[in-house]
Amino acid sequence: MIFRNIINKTSIENNSNWWDILLGTGNRVTSSGEYISPESAFSNIGTVFECVVIRANSMAKLPLHLYKRTKNGKEKDKNHKLSYLLEKRPNKWQTPSQFKQYIEVCRCLWGNAFIKIVFDRYGEIIALEPLDPSKVFMIKQYKTNDYLYQYNGNNGFEVFTEEEIIHIPYISMNGKEGKAPLEVARENAGNLQAITKFEGGFYKNNAMLTGILETPSQLNEEAKKKIKSEWRNLYSGSSNAGDIAILDVGFKFNPISIPIKDMEFIASRKMNKTEIATIFDVPLYMLNEFENAKFNNVEQQNIRYLNDVLQPTITLIEEELNYKLFTISESKKYYVKFNLNSMLRADSKTRAEYYKSMIETGVMSINTVCSLEDLDNIGEIGDKHFMSLNYTTLDTIEKHQRILKGGDEDEE
d(Cα 46, Cα 55) in Å, to the nearest integer?
14
d(Cα 42, Cα 55) in Å, to the nearest integer?
13
| 3-class DSSP state of 95 | coil
pLDDT, one tens digit per residue, over 97-119 is 999 999 999 998 888 999 999 99
Residue closest to 90 by CA, chosen among 48, 56, 125, 49: 125
Report the Cα–Cα distance between both ends of the chain, in Å, rounded: 89
pTM: 0.64
On average, the pLDDT of the chain sits at 74
The alpha-helical segments, DSSP class H, found in 141-264 are: 181-205, 221-235
- Phi-psi label, residue 311: left if phi above 0, alpha if psi -120 to 50, beta otherwise: alpha
- Minimum mean pLDDT among 13-27, 75-89, 279-293, 353-367: which range? 13-27
Using an 8 Å Cβ cutoff, are 131 and 110 in contact? no
Q: How confident is the model at residue 255 (pLDDT cuts 50, 70, 90)?
A: low
Q: How many CB atoms lie within 10 A of CB 25?
A: 10
d(Cα 298, Cα 270) in Å, to the nearest integer?
19
Using an 8 Å Cβ cutoff, are 231 and 243 in contact? no
| 3-class DSSP state of 265 | helix
pLDDT, one tens digit per residue, over 56-70 is 999 999 999 999 988
d(Cα 391, Cα 361) in Å, to the nearest integer?
9
Domain boundaries, the chain: 1-202+258-345, 211-256, 347-412
